[in-house]
Structure formats: structure tokens, C-alpha cells
Chain A
């Protein structure tokens, strides 16, 4: 037909759709079920403790949703967690400070934080300037937030979202003023820095489980269960793949092939060749290797719609 799944072939689409189906199924299943168990996540259990400590010391709680431009799913997740933190702070009448790296993040944060205060019936406590835009340049942002941490002497900092090199700068600065820190980065490169400098760290997809853990909304809990199903499915595929490849490669050098998968089809070989990892079924499925030079005969555009030659410059 002249159409193809150019990347992973059909199997990539099937696996992804299956995972989407598992997540959606569990979201709908979760409605009406009772309180489902989610294992303890230390960093999230410490939120009340951190805010309480800040209230005792009379110092603000700082929240930073990472750097990402524009707002994306990771930032939205961080903002969800910050909404919970803000709710706790509002009840304790503790000042907050939210530092944003991007204008869209700023507007979303302002809306969410204001809504939280309204839901708690504490609109008077909401300070518009508590949610501020610092800079969209990475190190200007890091410098600005570090300066705020030092001047305001934040008692608790929540560093969550998409983090890069500025993560350690902020974590160490907050450590130097004695702040209790809860952090999470979606980038695995920054997790070690947070672990070295922060009190509590959410690793990997604990960050995405946080909103389900804190709010226990059926949609979120169902989604979390669906994610776990997906992980189990991937583990299953890996195990099946390992077994399948191992069986196919068991023949060693005695096992030969007379044709090899190349550019989307089997090609005959001039002489038998030893069976290798690229010849296994799973390898063929996951590396469709579409033909690069396939010619498809299509009609051409009418002359008035075709690109026109024009004299360029150059030499």
C-alpha cells in the first residue's frame, strides 16, 4: 500500500496500545473498589513533618517544579504534589514560595495554588507573589533560586520534576541553610546527586505514584495498578524473549542459515552462515529494518503545484 510503520514496525504499536489498554482498563476498574494498598513512600510521608518543622521555625516552604519548557507531564505531576504540600501549608498558615522556570509553568502554578487556597477557604492567605517566575535560563534560574533559599532561609524545600545540572546547586544550598529536603528527578543522572544531598528522594516512578499515594483518587490508583501491569508485561516479554533467543541460539556454530533478513525481506546467502543474534525471531520483530530504497510508483502533482526552479546565488 505504500504505507508503513517506519520505526518499530507493527509490534511497537501493538505493545504500546496494549499498555494503554491496561492502564485505561484499570482506571475504569478502580471506580467502585475500596481503598487499595500502595506501599509506603518515605519521602511523601515526611511532607507533614517538613511543613510542621517550617511552621515551628517560622520560615517558608519552598517548592521548585524543575526546569522544563513549556509545561509537560513531568511538571504537571510535580505541581500535583505541590498542590498537596500547599494544602498542608495553608492549614498551618505557613508561607510558601514557588519558583518557576517557565511562563506556562508560572500560570499553571498560580491557578493551582490559588484554587487550593480557595478550596481550603483561606483565600486571604494567598499571596500572588509567592508564585514567581525567576528565569528561563538554567543557571540564571539556579542562581536566583539559590539566592532566594539563602535570603529567605527556607526550612523545607521540595525539588521535584525535570532536573539537570542545577539540581545539586539547589540541593547543597538548601542543605547549607539546614532545610529538610524532599526531591525527585525524572532524569536518572540527577538522582545520585539528590540522594547525596537531600533527606528524602523519590526514585524513578515513585514520582509518578506520588499523586495516587497522597490523594487516593480512584483514577490515579487505577492508573498506578495499570502501570504495574505494564511492567509485569514487559518483564514477561523479556523472559519470553530470553528463552526464545536462547533456544534458537542453542545450536551454536553448527546451526547455520541459508538466508538472512535484510531491509524488510529474506535474502539468500551465497553460502550457509552461522546463526547469530540478529537472525532470531525476536530480533526480526523488534528490528524491522525497512527497505531504504523501496520505490513506490505514485502519480505526480500537477505542474502548477510542483516546486519551481529559481536562480539562486552562491558559487
Chain B
């Protein structure tokens, strides 16, 4: 027989455990968006992995060559684009030539090309030298079979350059083997580093197969724990992880390492002074600096909702007992 009993009132504990999802999403949206419009500069202490990354790059002599696996697209631009920009700034200021390839996504070469062009334009505005495609860097393009390509890179690097064309300025596409960047390159060991900027498993694919060149990774925040196992074992010379890693690099580019100053960054591993590029872009306005406050607020909200949920659970249990 139907009854007309009113719905039992939700206890405080139950209410705390049943916030509507839309309210949570709205709170996250607001908290993450506010710092983007009202920039805040936060203090930062770079971690050793980022310091290793920066120090290794800064030790490269001018004119050396690095190989970059740009395995990211705009879906992870919050982290990967900042990493790529920081890397390119260091490379361009050290006048290092580079070769870019990708095994992750067909969109990646175009995304890399756009980023390189953008950073080069910013460097020119800041008084630096423009980086010309084909002359200072070459993009080999996308290789669908990542495992085979990585093995070929280790075994016979020039074989993957066969038939590849790139776009020089004011010139039709040309064979990459004619580029000054690849002159004198006979194997992957002729590069100083293989730097993988990735948000996918291309990091492990490269790690397993490319062994003749030192490697450094720039990965998204969620990949840091698994990549740290390789960094801790010495298989990687440096590691830049997530937005924190980007902000670390931007801090080091601004302050240098072991350079005396109000915001001096010191390291247990490196005792020598490694200068930064004070005053040069991004000069506190890079993606790391812009997104780091948003990360703060997002983490704060995450901690808050977990505490609220657990509080609700405790209150419910007390009421039930």
C-alpha cells in the first residue's frame, strides 16, 4: 500500500557527499580561469630533474646539433607547448641546429612548425636571430611505424631521411639531405641529445630502441612518475615534467643556476655557475608562469573536495552508528 511519508531528510554527511557534478565543474572552471585574466607571480624552486635538463642544454657548445622527437599535439598544449617553447628558446639562444621528427601523430609536424615559427618571431623581436627552416632546422615529418622508425634511427639514421622533403623559406620543397643541418651527420650518435617532447608512449618506444645518443624527456605531468624510473636509473640525462617543469625551466632561464641574486637557484649536483637569459622572453610571461597559478587553484579545489567528501563520510558513519 502506498504511503505518503515524506522523503527522509538528507543528513549533513550525505549532503557533503552528494554535491552536484555541475557545481564542481563550475567551481573548477572559475578557479582555473581567474588567474589567466589576473596574472600572479608565484615563487618557485626548480626540482633537480629540471635543473639537470637545463644544465645539460646550457653546456652544449654553439653549433651543435640535437634531434627532437616532437610527439605532441594541441590537445596537450597546456603542458607540451610550454615545454617545446622553453626548449626552443634555449636552443635558439645557444645557436644550436636541430632536426625534428615525430612518431606519434600526423598533426605533430605542423604543430611543431607553427611553434618554431612563433618562438623564432619572438626571439627576433627581442633582438635575437631568426631561425630559418631548412638552414637552421629541418622537419622530417611523421613516421607511422614508431617502433620500426626508432630502431632505424638507432641503426642507420640517414635511412629515415631518404626521400624526405622540407620547406625552405621562399623556395619549393627540397630534399632534407641537402640541408646544412644534416651535413656531417652519419649516425644518430652525431647528435648531442635526443630530446623527446611527448604526451604518449613514444617515450618508452624511443627509450627501448635508441641507445646510441643521450636522451632527455619532456613529458606531461601524468607521465612523470613512470618516466622518473628511467631518470632515476640514469637512462635519461634530464627530465622536464608538466606545467611545473615548464615553470622550472622558465625560472632557470630567468635566474640562471648558482647565479647570485635575490631569487638565486642552487643545486646539490652542480656547483658551477650556469647563466640564464634575464630580460629575454618569456620574462615572466611564459606558459609556465601563466598556467602555474591555475594549477595551484585546481589542486587546491581537488584537495578541498576530497576533504569535504571524507568529512561527509565520517559524519554519515557517526550518524549511522
Chain A residues packing against B (C-beta within 8 Å): 6-7, 69-70, 137-139, 162, 164-165, 187-189, 292, 312-315
Contacting chain A: which of B55-63, B219-227, B251-259? B219-227
- In the A-B complex, the 7 residue pairs with the closest CB atoms: A312-B178, A7-B211, A189-B222, A188-B226, A314-B180, A189-B223, A189-B226
Name 14 interchain pairs, CB-CB below 8 A, sorted by A: A137-B105, A139-B75, A164-B200, A164-B201, A165-B199, A165-B222, A187-B201, A188-B225, A188-B226, A189-B222, A189-B223, A313-B171, A314-B178, A314-B179
Contact across chains for B75 and A138 when beta carbons are under 8 A apart: yes
Contact flag A69-B225 (CB < 8 Å), given A313-B178, A314-B180: no
Contact across chains for B200 and A69 when beta carbons are under 8 A apart: no
Contact across chains for A6 and B75 when beta carbons are under 8 A apart: no
Q: Which single residue of chain B is at the shortest CB-CB distance from A310?
A: B178
Bound Cα distance from A165 to B221, whole angstroms = 12
Bound Cα distance from A162 to B200, whole angstroms = 11
Starting from the known contacts A138-B105, A164-B199, A314-B134, 12 additional A-B residue pairs (CB-CB under 8 Å) come to A6-B211, A6-B212, A69-B144, A137-B105, A138-B75, A162-B201, A164-B201, A187-B201, A188-B225, A188-B226, A189-B222, A314-B135
Bound Cα distance from A292 to B75, whole angstroms = 39
Q: Which single residue of chain B is at the shortest CB-CB distance from A292?
A: B189
What is the 8 Å Cβ interface bit string for chain B, positions 201-217, against chain A (1 contact, 0 not)? 10000000001100000
Tell me if A's interface is mostly helix, strand, loop or mixed: loop
Task: Collect the chain A residues with CB atoms within 8 Å of residue B222's CB.
Answer: 165, 189
Q: Which single residue of chain A is at the shortest CB-CB distance from B21?
A: A176
Q: Is B317 close to A, CB under 8 A?
A: no
Q: Which single residue of chain B is at the shortest CB-CB distance from A286?
A: B233
From the candidates A137, A189, A315, name the one contacting B225 in the complex (CB within 8 A): A189
Chain B residues packing against A (C-beta within 8 Å): 75-76, 105, 134-135, 144-145, 171, 174, 178-180, 189, 199-201, 211-212, 222-223, 225-226
Bound Cα distance from A55 to B134, whole angstroms = 61
Q: Which single residue of chain A is at the shortest CB-CB distance from B179?
A: A314
Task: Collect the chain B residues with CB atoms within 8 Å of residue A315's CB.
Answer: 135
Task: Collect the chain A residues with CB atoms within 8 Å of residue B225's CB.
Answer: 188-189
Task: Collect the chain A residues with CB atoms within 8 Å of residue B226's CB.
Answer: 187-189
Bound Cα distance from A70 to B174, whole angstroms = 30
Bound Cα distance from A6 to B144, whole angstroms = 26
Q: Which single residue of chain B is at the shortest CB-CB distance from A287?
A: B234
Task: Collect the chain B residues with CB atoms within 8 Å of residue A69's CB.
Answer: 144
Task: Collect the chain B residues with CB atoms within 8 Å of residue A7's CB.
Answer: 211
Q: Which single residue of chain B is at the shortest CB-CB distance from A189?
A: B222
Q: Which single residue of chain A is at the shortest CB-CB distance from B212?
A: A6
Q: Which single residue of chain A is at the shortest CB-CB distance from B209?
A: A7
Bound Cα distance from A188 to B223, whole angstroms = 9
Bound Cα distance from A55 to B150, whole angstroms = 46
Q: Which single residue of chain B is at the shortest CB-CB distance from A311?
A: B178
Give, as a whole number of angstroms, the nearest-CB distance from B162 to chain A: 12
Give, as a whole number of angstroms, the nearest-CB distance from A228 to chain B: 22
Bound Cα distance from A149 to B189, whole angstroms = 48
Q: Which single residue of chain B is at the shortest CB-CB distance from A164?
A: B200
Bound Cα distance from A139 to B76, whole angstroms = 11
Q: Which single residue of chain B is at the shortest CB-CB distance from A193?
A: B222
Bound Cα distance from A64 to B145, whole angstroms = 22
Give, as a whole number of angstroms, the nearest-CB distance from A71 to chain B: 12
Q: Which single residue of chain A is at the shortest CB-CB distance from B107?
A: A137
Bound Cα distance from A195 to B208, whole angstroms = 28
Bound Cα distance from A6 to B211, whole angstroms = 8
Bound Cα distance from A6 to B223, whole angstroms = 28
Give, as a whole number of angstroms, the nearest-CB distance from A204 to chain B: 12
Q: Which single residue of chain B is at the shortest CB-CB distance from A67?
A: B200
Q: Which single residue of chain B is at the shortest CB-CB distance from A138?
A: B75
Bound Cα distance from A70 to B171, whole angstroms = 36
Give, as a whole number of angstroms, the nearest-CB distance from A298 to chain B: 15
Task: Collect the chain A residues with CB atoms within 8 Å of residue B174's CB.
Answer: 313
Bound Cα distance from A247 to B264, whole angstroms = 41
Task: Collect the chain A residues with CB atoms within 8 Å of residue B180's CB.
Answer: 314
Q: Which single residue of chain B is at the shortest CB-CB distance from A7?
A: B211
Task: Collect the chain A residues with CB atoms within 8 Å of residue B105's CB.
Answer: 137-138
Task: Collect the chain A residues with CB atoms within 8 Å of residue B75's CB.
Answer: 138-139, 165
Bound Cα distance from A18 to B114, whole angstroms = 49
Give, as a whole number of angstroms, the nearest-CB distance from A280 to chain B: 14
Task: Collect the chain A residues with CB atoms within 8 Å of residue B179's CB.
Answer: 314
Bound Cα distance from A312 to B179, whole angstroms = 8
Task: Collect the chain B residues with CB atoms within 8 Å of residue A164's CB.
Answer: 199-201
Bound Cα distance from A189 to B105, whole angstroms = 20
Give, as a whole number of angstroms, the nearest-CB distance from A137 to chain B: 8
Give, as a whole number of angstroms, the nearest-CB distance from B23 to chain A: 16
Give, as a whole number of angstroms, the nearest-CB distance from B149 to chain A: 13
Q: Which single residue of chain B is at the shortest CB-CB distance from A8?
A: B211
